A and B are shown apart, each in its own frame.
Chain A
Amino acid sequence: MITDLSPLLHKTTPLVRSDELQLQKGSWVKFSQFWPTDTKTGWASGNTFVVSQDNILVDYPVSVNIADQDYAILDLTNQTNPIVPGVPHPTAAQMGTLQMYPTNQCVLYQISVGMKRGKYFVQLQIPRGTVPIYQLGSSAITPNITDPVYRYLGAKYPKDSPVDSPTWFLYSILNAPQIVLLVFMDGGDTEASGVLYGKATIDFKVNKTTLSQITLGSMAVINIPVPSKTQVNIPSGQVAVVTGGPGGDTSLINNSNQQTVRLAAGQSSVVSSGWIVNTASGSAVLTTMDDVRKWRTIQERALYIPYYTELTGS
C-alpha cells in the first residue's frame, strides 16, 4: 500500500524512468498474496494486473490551520463515520474523510503525497489506531503522536516528499484498509491570543488507473478441456510449459516410459513432445517458453503492492 522512495531520487531523475514513479498505461501491478481473499479485496489478492487505460491525474490539495503542538487527522477513505474495531470513535479530532478511494473493483488509485514547506510532520497509520507503519521492531519504542519523544519516530517531513517532487506514494483500492495521516504542527509561526498557529498544505495527486488482470493462462496457446486426457502436440525441437490447474491434480504422463509427474496448483513443468497431460479436475494450460519468460519478467518488474500487515514487522 506504500511506495517509499529515497528523497535522493528526485535529484537523480535522469536515472529514473517516469513510469517507475507513476503508473501509466501498460504499467504492471502485482498485489501481495496477503491481501484478504474475501469478497472485498479477493479480486486483487495475489493477482497481477496491467494498467489498461490511460491514467488520469487528479490534483487534490488539502490544507489545515492548526495550533502548535496540536494535530489534525486526514482520513483518506470514503467513509463518513469511519470506525475501527477496538478504537474509540473520533470526536474533535475527526475532520471528515477525504474520499480518496475508488468505488469500483479493478481500479487503483496511486496517491502521491507532496508536502509544502512548513513546520509540521506526518505520521501514517493503516488502519487508524493500530500499530503505525513506520516503526522499529522493538515494542519498547512505538511512534505515538501524543508522546513528546516518540511522536518523532517514523515521522515524514516536507523534505522527505516535497511538493515539487514527491517520493511518497500511497495506494488505495475499493474496500482497502483505512489510510490515515496524522498532521502534527511542530512550531507555528503565526501568533494569535498567545497561541502559535501554522498551516500545513499537502498536495495529493491521485493517479486513477484502470486495471486488467493478466495471467499466464491468458497467454496460453492451448487450453485443455476439463476433465480430459490430451496428447501434447509439440513440434520437434520445441518445448512447452504446463501449469497445474486449480484442482491440484494435474499429472503428466510420458508415453514412452509411463513416467508420471504430478503438478500442484500453479506449479509448472516443462514438457516436450510425447507427453500426455491428464487433468481430472480444473484445467491445465499449455504455453510457450517465450510466454513463460515474459511472465517471469512481469513478475519481477511489476509494482508490488503489499498489504499493510507486511509493513509492520520487525
Chain B
Amino acid sequence: MATARATANVTVQPLFSTPLHMKAVIDDINIDNEGSSGSITVQLEDDFTQDISNGNGTPTVRSAFPFQTTVAQTVSVSADKNTLADTECLGDVGVVCSATDAGCAIVVVYHFE
C-alpha cells in the first residue's frame, strides 16, 4: 500500500495517478484539521477519461467524487476500509476542500489492482 498527502486547498491537490490498466482502491483516509479555518469539507476527486463506447462517441473527461466529509476545527477523523467499502478510482486522484489551510492535512492510503 502507498500513501499520498496534501493540505486543504480550494483547488484540486493531486495525490496520485492510476496506471492505465489498473484501478486504485482506497484503503484509508485520515484528515487532521489543525488549521484555523473552522470546519472544512474535504472531497476526494477522481478525474478519468470515459472511452469510446456505444453510448459515447468521443473520449470525455469525467470527474467523480467518491468520498466527502466535513471535519470540524481541531478534529481528526479517519475513514477506514470498512467505511470506504472498496472505493475505487479510475484516473487522476486528488483532494479539493472548502477552504485553503496548510494546517489541515489529508493523508490517503491506497493500492493498485
Contacts and interface: CB of A to CB of B under 8 A. Distances in A.
Given A189-B88, A190-B64, A190-B88, A93 B54 contact: yes
A113 to B, nearest CB: 14
A66 interface: yes
- The residue in B53, B86, B113 that gathers the most chain A C-beta atoms within 10 A of its C-beta is B53
Interface residues of A, number: 30
B64 A92 contact: no
Interface string A158-199: 000000000000000000000000000000011111010111
A61 B20 CA distance: 9
A95 B53 CA distance: 7
Given A63-B21, A65-B90, A192 B63 contact: yes
A70 B54 contact: yes
Contacts of B52: 72, 92-95
Interface string B75-113: 000000000001111110000000000000000000001
B53 A197 contact: no
Nearest to B46: A190
A190 B53 contact: no
Contact of A92 (B20, B22, B56, B62): B56
A72 B53 CA distance: 4
Contact of B51 (A61, A72, A189): A72
A92 B59 CA distance: 10
A92 B21 CA distance: 22
A190 B89 contact: yes
A71 interface: yes
Nearest to B85: A189
B56 A197 contact: no
Given A190-B48, A192-B63, A71 B88 contact: no
Contacts of B86: 189
A64 interface: yes
Contact of B22 (A70, A71, A93, A201): A201
Contact of A65 (B48, B66, B113): B48
Contacts of A93: 52-54
Contacts of B63: 192-193
Contacts of B113: 116-117
Interface residues of B, number: 27
Contacts of A117: 113
A92 B54 contact: yes
Contacts of B55: 66-67, 70, 92
B49 interface: yes
Given A92-B57, A190-B90, A65 B51 contact: yes
A73 interface: yes
B64 A67 contact: no
Nearest to A183: B53
Contact of B53 (A92, A116, A192, A193): A92
Given A190-B66, A199-B90, A63 B20 contact: yes
Nearest to A61: B21
Contacts of B62: 192-193, 195, 197
Nearest to B61: A192
- The residue in A62, A189, A203 that gathers the most chain B C-beta atoms within 10 A of its C-beta is A189
Contact of A64 (B22, B53, B65, B88): B53
A191 B66 contact: yes
Contacts of A199: 23, 48, 88, 90
A116 B51 CA distance: 18
B39 interface: no
Contacts of B91: 65
For the complex of A and B, 5 pairs with smallest distance between CB atoms = A92-B57, A192-B64, A192-B62, A95-B52, A93-B54
15 contacts: A65-B48, A65-B49, A66-B56, A70-B53, A70-B55, A72-B52, A92-B52, A93-B52, A118-B23, A190-B66, A190-B90, A191-B66, A192-B65, A197-B90, A201-B22
